[in-house]
Structure 1
Amino acid sequence: MGVWLKPDVYPLLAAMTFATSMCLFQLTRNAFLNPDVRIKKAHRTTAILDNADEAQRYSQHRLRKFLGHRPPEIMPSINSFFSRSSDK
């Protein structure tokens, strides 16, 4: 096994593991929490589901609520430093 697993491959394995875990997380999140996905047979019989509150909970999750009132800047201190005018 030592011949197949070289230290040069560790960063690639880490990146691939991270990407795969993110894909699996999103797939399971969509399968179990998305209001448009119908796994149960009872939900599949109706053409239009009355699930506005479920859709609201799905779209307005905790991360979106947390970031909703913040300015859309990644590094606000650097942005303010470079956007200040030098005319003082």
Structure 2
Amino acid sequence: MAAPTVNRWLRPEVYPLFAAVGAAVGICGFSLVRNICINPEVRVSKENRAAGVLDNFAEGEKYTEHTLRKFVRNKSPEIMPAINGFFTNPK
């Protein structure tokens, strides 16, 4: 009884679906772990929740201005800028 189910879902046509769902779950998990661990507005322990609202702008700035955002800040918003430049700016 298990063999028809395995044959139905483990076909080569289904691999891209598994990859897309796996990537989505991975991105979701990364976001959840990042927010729980380092977001200054999320407080998991009871002692931190008792502190109330903190005006700690330096910690919020550090969380918002992460390394990836600093890296792409001055980059062109193109996926393949060399190919785009080749086709739009002929010599």
| TM-score where L is the length of structure 2 | 0.74
Spell out the pairing of 1:11-50 with structure 2 (5 A cutoff).
11-50=16-55
Q: Which residue of 2 aligns with 1:75?
A: 80
Cα distance change of structure 1 residues 37 and 54 upon mapping to structure 2, 3 Å threshold: same
5+ residue gaps, structure 1, are: none
| 1:57 to 2:83 alignment | no
**Please, which of 66, 71, 85 is the counterpart of residue 66 of structure 1?**
71
SS of residue paired to 1:3 = helix
Q: Which amino acid is the alignment partner of residue 41 of structure 2?
A: D
Count of aligned residue pairs for this structure pair: 86
Cα distance change of structure 1 residues 31 and 59 upon mapping to structure 2, 3 Å threshold: same
5+ residue gaps, structure 2, are: none
Q: Which amino acid is the alignment partner of residue 72 of structure 2?
A: L
RMSD of the TM alignment (CA)? 2.1
| TM-score where L is the length of structure 1 | 0.76
Give the deviation of 1:27 after TM superposition: 0.8
Distance 1:54 1:2 in 2: 54
Q: Which residue of 1 aligns with 2:5?
A: 4
Distance 1:26 1:73 in 2: 24
Cα distance change of structure 1 residues 45 and 21 upon mapping to structure 2, 3 Å threshold: same
SS of residue paired to 1:71 = coil
Distance 2:20 2:5 in 1: 18
Is contact 1:43-1:49 (8 Å) kept?
A: no
Distance 2:32 2:75 in 1: 28
